[in-house]
Structure 1
């Protein structure tokens, strides 16, 4: 399934769903951030995805990080909560989702980088190398907040 992110696009279709989701901002010992290359749009992104029934929302971030990157994490805090009604995600199946995402701060506790059906590449990146990567503006904001905001969450 492919996706298009509409950010501040007055031509975007109307939303028809809101799904709680997570992303995980994980740094290694050299301050490199863990990113996956998404198979649905080709962009680099923090690992993450939709909340499933029966799990705590922090468990979603742990599960999705493992599924998409092969990396096991432990949650250490919250970076941000994103609910911008001007960020809509249009999927090829007709769903148009309004963003509702909690970005967790995590630390690696195991695993090795591995691709999945949702990721064509997994790597750790130095902050200085992020400018040249295809990263959607909302995801780039999460990464910047992860680096800059310390332990105080941003809500917006």
Structure 2
């Protein structure tokens, strides 16, 4: 996972120089717990996901990213929302790329697979404990929409 720095509504944030569609996945197990990953900063918790490769669909990217990052197989169940706020940019210091937010968030149900044994990098988080985890504003916002269970997806 590449190191990145998120900025939201920060006046001196670097200007976006790219727009890359990505997908994030809120994966729930049979108990309703949410699959979280320790972010590249080593502090915040994030959702599985990433960029969509050429030649794959949105749902294929979501399933692939979840499997590659966590070992969990999942089935997509619904659209949580689309997130395209130009005030949210992500800087990748290694190459200077600064992406404007463009993320589609899907909900999924875990079908099987196994998290890496003994790893502190992955965790099933009970729904009522999510607020106790450190995460960036965007992740908390997206999980909030998932937990609200609105009949219509968020469009923003």
Distance 1:13 1:124 in 2: 34
Mapped partners of 1:94, 1:21: distance in 2: 18
Residues 30 and 110, structure 2, Cα contact 8 Å, conserved in 1:
no
Q: Name the counterpart of 2:84.
A: 83
Equivalences for residues 1-156 of structure 1 within 5 A: 1-40=2-41, 42-92=43-93, 93-114=95-116, 121-156=121-156
Q: Provide the C-alpha distance between the structure 1 equivalents of 2:116 and 2:22, rounded to a whole number of angstroms.
A: 21
Structure 2 vs 1, CA of residues 38 and 72 (structure 1 numbering), >3 Å: closer, same or farther?
A: same
Structure 1 CA distance for aligned equivalents of residues 105 and 60 of structure 2: 12
What is the CA-CA distance between 1:42 and the residue it aligns to? 3.3
How far is the alpha carbon of 1:120 from its aligned partner? 5.9
Aligned positions, number: 153
TM-score (norm 1): 0.91
Aligned residue for 1:138, secondary structure, equals helix
Matches of 1:145 and 1:7 in 2, distance apart? 18
- C-alpha displacement of 1:66: 0.6
Unaligned runs of 5+ in 2: none
Cα deviations across residues 6-35 of structure 1 (Å, max 9, x unaligned)?
A: 011111010000000000111112221111
> Unaligned stretches of 5+ in structure 1?
none
2: CA distance between counterparts of 1:114 and 1:150?
Answer: 32
Shift of 1:122: 0.7
Q: Is the 8 A contact 2:52 2:61 kept in 1?
A: yes
Shift of 1:88: 0.2
Q: Deviations over 1:119-153 (max 9, x none)?
A: 96111101222222210011101111111134421
